[in-house]
Amino acid sequence: MTVRPFRDIKRRKTKVVKVGDVKIGGENPISVQSMTNTLTTDIKATINQINDISEEGADIVRVSCPDEHSTFALKEIVKHVPIPVVADIHFHYKRAIEAAENGAKCLRINPGNIGDEAKIIEVVKAAKNNNCSIRIGVNAGSLEKDILEKYKEPCPEALVESALRNIKILEDKDFFNFKVSVKSSDVFLSISAYRQLSKICDYPLHLGITEAGSFVSGSIKSSIGLGSLLMDGIGDTIRISLSDNPSQEVKIGNEILKSLGLRNRGVKIISCPSCARQAFQVIDTVKILEEKLSHIKTPITLSIIGCVVNGPGEAAMTDIGITGGGKGSNMLYLSGVQNEKVLTNDIIDKVVFEVEKKASELDK
């Protein structure tokens, strides 16, 4: 069952760049990214974390490369992970060259930070020779000194000016395979900067609220910031920056896209907050189902509603639904139609069975 969103979001037209096999921009799906927090030189730990991130639904992963040992570790890491790796480079141009040569599919770098023109030319050459894209990563916390002096403090205009300066550096070197971000930890600053940049730039935009904070507060800030931009059709790839396990970043990123009808992956659960009318423990049931259904990648909608007030209406719009009934007898809906009564103690097993069955049918 497919429920059309109330509003179809018209995405902004952008150029297309490639990060490995992942296309970003144009009409391609909005990709979800995260970043490892292991030591890159700990190759085994980094590989394991990237695989966990991928399993959660990430399309791309970023790895910090602060030194030569880290960039050379990439050569082994990329052999054992299923998604393309972005090398996070800040100042040293040799790290960028090494990363490109050792398997990175994108370099996160600000060309203006790496020194004279000769060094920039070498980085661009390495990117071209290794089919490696670039992300210009402007951040309110690390603006160029002269721009910061001009505007006195980080502001949308300062972030945009920095982005345009770095864009021109690459364009002047005949390099156009890049995307851009203008991040801040301030939601309003970020939104304004991205909106301004989107009006004058047709390169793909990487969205993020940088250093957003802990799982709860960071998820809320990111949802407000990225959600506002995505609803305006702005954004081609996203990263949720949380002080938490990177897999949680991916989970929140996918949920934001699913909520806006911009991505369908896995089980989307519609559930009530529960109240005195509930015929079964909705909160506990949803928590268990989220865990037991996390392996499902096929897009399926599931409603878990504790009573008959909103239950039938929600079930009519989902693939599978459970509505609470009296005396421990609840109603199972399949494709919006009443199917059978289910005892409260059997809800978990029955829903898991029906979801897995539905996924198997859709995957054929």
CA 231-234-236 angle, 5° bins: 115
Token pair, residue 265, equals: 């992956």
To 5 degrees, how large is the angle CA 201–CA 202–CA 208? 75
Does 264 or 168 have the greater pLDDT score?
A: 168
**Mean pLDDT score, 218-230:** 97
Architecture of domain 267-363: 2-Layer Sandwich (3.30)
Q: What is the mean pLDDT of residues 291-304?
A: 93
Q: For residue range 134-157, what is the model confidence (pLDDT) as tens digits? A: 999 999 988 889 999 999 999 999
In the chain, where does the domain assigned CATH 3.20.20.20 lie? 17-259
Alpha carbons 179 and 105: distance in angstroms, whole number: 13
How far is the C-alpha of 320 from the C-alpha of 341, rounded, in Å?
A: 13
Q: Strand order of the sheet with strand 133-139?
A: 178-183, 133-139, 106-108, 85-88, 60-64, 31-35, 237-239, 206-207
Condensed to tens digits (0 to 9), the pLDDT of residues 182-206 reads 999 999 999 999 999 999 999 999 9
Mean pLDDT, to the nearest integer, of 238-266? 93
pLDDT value of position 4: 45
Q: 3-class DSSP state for residue 306?
A: coil
pLDDT of 41: 97
- Which has more pLDDT, 6 or 273? 273
Give the pLDDT score at 7.
62
Residues 6+ apart with CB under 8 A from 233: 9, 10, 11, 12
Q: How many CA atoms, within 13 angstroms, populate the side-chain half-sphere of residue 284?
A: 8
Provide the 8-state DSSP code for 39: -
For CATH 3.30.413.10, the residue range(s) in the chain are 267-363
Give the whole-angstrom CA distance, residue 167 versus residue 120. 12
Residue 211's region, left for phi above 0, alpha for psi from -120 to 50, else beta, is: left
Average pLDDT for the chain = 93
In angstroms, rounded to a whole number, what is the distance separating the alpha carbons of residues 147 and 132?
A: 29
pLDDT at 114: 80
Tell me the CB-side half-sphere exposure of residue 10, using CA atoms within 13 A.
0
> Which pLDDT band holds residue 117 (cuts at 50, 70, 90)?
confident
CA atoms of 47 and 49, how far apart (whole Å): 5
Residue 281 contacts by C-beta under 8 Å, 6 or more apart in sequence? 274
For the cut 70, the answer to whether the pLDDT of residue 242 exceeds it is yes
Residue 275 has pLDDT above 80, yes or no: yes
- Residue-wise pLDDT for 68-103, tens only, equals 999 999 999 999 999 999 999 988 999 999 999 999
| Residue 136 contacts residue 179 (beta carbons within 8 Å) | yes
Record the pTM.
0.89
3-state class (DSSP) for residue 63 = strand
Q: Answer yes or no: is pLDDT of 1 > 60.
A: no
CA distance 221 to 223: 5
CATH topology for 17-259 is TIM Barrel (3.20.20)
HSE-up (13 A, CA, CB side) for residue 312: 6
Percent of the residues in the chain that have a pLDDT greater than 70, as a whole number: 98
Q: What is the pLDDT of residue 263?
A: 87
Task: Of 66-70, 113-117, 157-161, give the lowest mean pLDDT range.
Answer: 113-117
